[in-house]
Amino acid sequence: MDIFNRGPSISEDTVVFGLYPPQQQSAKASVSTLAACISDFATRLLPQDFIWHRDSFEVKLAANPYEKDAWYLEGRMRVGDCIDDEWCTVWLLREISAKWDLAIR
């Protein structure tokens, strides 16, 4: 078995998601502004004293490898054994999709 030619793997305790704006709104500046708005929105939805088990919810700008000059938002967070953090993330993504026109993976 060749351990050096394996593809990247994602740990079982990791939630990975992508937020894709419509193509006409996928310019870098537009998606960067959207990231700030989403981060602020998610912070306002959660209680002030909310504590994540491992990683907190965050989105960051990423270049879309399938479309030239298109950008999207991605997130990756380790939740460990805390299933509540997973469900909280799913709830946040649902609330975000209700507010903005996005495709979420």
Closest CA to 61 of 53, 70, 46, 72: 72
Looking at residue 17, its pLDDT comes to 95
Q: Which pLDDT score is estimated for 65?
A: 87
Please write the tens of the pLDDT for every residue from 75-86. 998 887 878 889
**pTM for the complete prediction?**
0.83
* Helix, strand, coil shares, percent, the chain, to 5: 40, 20, 40
What residue segments make up the domains of the chain, in order of their start? 26-104
How many of the other CB atoms lie within 10 Å of CB of 88? 20
* Secondary structure of residue 75 in the 3-state scheme: strand
65-90 average pLDDT score: 89
User: pLDDT tens digits, residue range 3-51?
Assistant: 667 665 667 778 899 999 998 999 999 999 999 999 999 999 999 888 8
